[in-house]
Structure 1
Amino acid sequence: MCRWLAYSGSPVNLEELLYKPANSLVIQSKHSRMGVETTNGDGFGVGWYGTSPEPGVFHSTEPAWHDRNLRELAAQASSRRVFAHIRATTGSAVQQTNCHPFRHGRWLWMHNGLITDFPAVKRELAMAVEPGLYPEIEGSTDSEMFFYLALTFGLEQDPRGAVAAAVGLIEDTGRRHGIEHPIQMTVATTDGDTTWAFRYSSERHSRSLFHNTDIATLRAQYPDNPVLQELADNARLVVSEPLGDLRGAWREVPDATCVVVHGGGEDLFPFSPSVS
């Protein structure tokens, strides 16, 4: 369906994240190892925080491996917090407004998965979006609708609670339309200071999600690894699939879990939908 990564830590060049790892996101756009589809070529997007209050975003409908502008941008730009996403559409159009990450104010959002049979529930879900937010929806994806439902339920004040409420509404709506498994998701969202990532599905068999282990520990285990020597101790990555094969470098996020990354650490919490 899609692949994504969320980085936080000391400023890093985008090229180090998107191109240089052995199983980089650009490699995954053609040769995903753990995704539903091997190829994720229906566009991509990058979001990053710089000197402005709001993050910058760059979207393209080109396959990530084919876009010269992405290569140029990645070679020059650096940031302390980066979201990147490669897209395999589940039915919506290939257009820039459907590329992740989506932005609202300081917030970024990206999603791998789907709202099952989205056309059947789209109108009802759209009616649940707060009227003042609805005009900001630019594209036609279930992922963007999901974002605006989370914003409606208070994402900016309580991300874990808002995502739980949005998922609860999606499941309740889907099941009233006869849909057995209404949602499949790994989601990442950030306000520029903290990242929240979620792994969940109605069928309890969710898409893959991993986070990196402690960099200082890995550096001690692999003193001759040049990549680890360059990373700061506070570097944290949450990814759809590992960026390399270094033993001990990655931990799978358990199903029905929220990962909260702040500063140089992360906390894991159980996640379940809530119904108001």
Structure 2
Amino acid sequence: MRVVSLVPSLTEAVARTVPDALAGVTDWCTHPAGLGAVRVGGTKNPDVGRIVSLAPDLVIANEEENRAVDLAALRAAGAEVLLTEVRDVPQAFRELARVLDACGAAARPRWLDEAERTWSALPAPETRTTAVVPIWRRPWMVLGRDTFAGDVLARLGVDHVHAAHPERYPRVPLEELRAAAPDVVVLPDEPYRFTADDGPEAFPGLACALVSGRHLTWYGPSLAEAPRVLGEALRAARPRPARARSARRR
């Protein structure tokens, strides 16, 4: 089995389970370190010709991460493309199992079972916290409706302000983000690399949590430790006391 992965999350999952299957990966596939597969460009601008030259049995992609035009070009060139959709945590586990099976995994990997148990065992949050979650600046963009990262946060007791926005990743003026007065501003280090010196200064007077983008947005082996890693980062931000509301999980 020869696989080209166009999704960093799925690359990590395949590498942990059937590493010999990976023939090509994107420039953004950083986990695990030391991948020996051929680099085929970015997630949004893959080199279709290079991918085809690798003669893959399967190209794995994601409807959000990759462009439809590139996937159409791969199919037109004769490549089989497995397209995934991941909008929440349970769907992530289903899609991971489907991808690994298609990539020739002999059995369901232990890490996947452990990750699913970790999320299933999460206690219902005692309180809820409101958040604004920027994913880009210049212009400012935030999590909107129906996103995997939004579902991850909701299961940890964090409700992002723009969850009902008609767009999935809306552009929102900074003044409007500040005016929302959330309990915490969640700043991941990808896709935009927010840091202590680049992001928090835009939200004076608001608690800011710098979090791992891999644990917030990736659906792969990182899911097993995501609740702990994200929880620690959120607690370190020391947000104002959460507003009293139902502790019901999504």
TM-score class, shorter? under 0.3
TM-score normalized by structure 2?
A: 0.27
- The structure, 1 or 2, with the larger RCO (C-alpha pairs under 8 Å, 6+ apart) is 1
Q: Report the structure number with the largest CA radius of gyration.
A: 2
Higher strand share: 1
TM-score normalized by structure 1?
A: 0.25
